[in-house]
Amino acid sequence: CFNMIKFFDQIHKNLLNVVFPAFCNGCSKLLLKNEKIICTTCMHHLPLTHHHNLKDHEMHRAFYGIVPFEFGASLLYFRKKGIAQQLMHNLKYKNQQEIGTFLGNIFSKNVLDLPVFNSIDVIIPVPLHKKRLHERGYNQVTTFCEALEKNLAIPIIDDVLVKSINLKSQIQKSKENRLETNKNVFSIENAHIIEGKHILLVDDIFTTGATIEVCAKEILKIKNTRISIVTMAYTQS
Ligand SMILES: [Zn+2]
């Protein structure tokens, strides 16, 4: 009977694949049976930054004298029409949340043996506003954070940093303007939870760094906190 169930389950899965074939989240080609999330070609062409192996990279230069951090890294380079842009788009707007898990697993493997990760106490995802979270149904960094939580044994805390004001698209605004309007957008609740802790702040894409800067500064106001920063992608200018 159990075998029967398994048999029908297999048929069901195969049928699903015929009715809803799986496409590569990088190049949109049909995935082969043994491929998941992205095809083998895209896997070989993932635009990895290798930040985790570098002592000095773009993030250090972007935040020099602005945000002090212990460790910083992005996994992929985000380029126009590139694989990372496609992945981020599908993760954010097409409910392909397993992309976050996939990238989180790759990132965890990269940093598993880095000593700095032994000192990180908690993971804090950059939050969405309640209203946005309700509309989208999920925060695009959640599955990435969950993969890090599982692989690196660092707990996620998502009730300390909150987004209190919902702003419309900020694409048109300059960095200065954005910082000005971002100032009171994020706030800290239950500050005692993170007192004295080393926090890994996680966001989806590092573009100007404005969002991370504001979040980091809010966290660093809490007594004896330290910050490390990870994003799934980094926009190359
Ligand atoms: Zn592909």
Helices then strands, counting H and E runs in the chain, come out as 9, 6
User: How much distance in Å is there from the Cα of 82 to the middle of ligand 1?
Assistant: 11
pLDDT at residue 67 greater than cutoff 90: yes
User: How much distance in Å is there from the Cα of 124 to the middle of ligand 1?
Assistant: 31
**Domains, the chain, ordered by start:** 1-45 (no CATH), 46-166+173-235 (3.40.50.2020)
User: How much distance in Å is there from the Cα of 146 to the middle of ligand 1?
Assistant: 25
Q: Which residue has the higher pLDDT, 17 or 145?
A: 145
| H or E element at residue 72 | strand 72-78
User: How much distance in Å is there from the Cα of 225 to the middle of ligand 1?
Assistant: 41
Helix (H, G, I), strand (E, B) or coil at 161: strand
pLDDT at residue 198 greater than cutoff 80: yes
User: How much distance in Å is there from the Cα of 46 to the middle of ligand 1?
Assistant: 10
Mean pLDDT of 56-78: 97
Work out the pLDDT band at 20, boundaries 50, 70, 90: low
Mean pLDDT of 100-110: 98
pLDDT tens by residue, 73-92: 999 999 999 999 999 999 99
Q: Which residues pair with 123 in a beta bridge?
A: 156, 200
User: How much distance in Å is there from the Cα of 160 to the middle of ligand 1?
Assistant: 38
pLDDT at residue 173 greater than cutoff 60: no
pLDDT for 14 equals 66
User: How much distance in Å is there from the Cα of 138 to the middle of ligand 1?
Assistant: 25
User: How much distance in Å is there from the Cα of 1 to the middle of ligand 1?
Assistant: 39
Work out the pLDDT band at 180, boundaries 50, 70, 90: low
User: How much distance in Å is there from the Cα of 63 to the middle of ligand 1?
Assistant: 33
- In sequence order, the 6+-apart residues with CB closer than 8 A to the CB of 203 are 125, 126, 141, 211, 212, 215, 229, 230, 231, 232
User: How much distance in Å is there from the Cα of 29 to the middle of ligand 1?
Assistant: 6
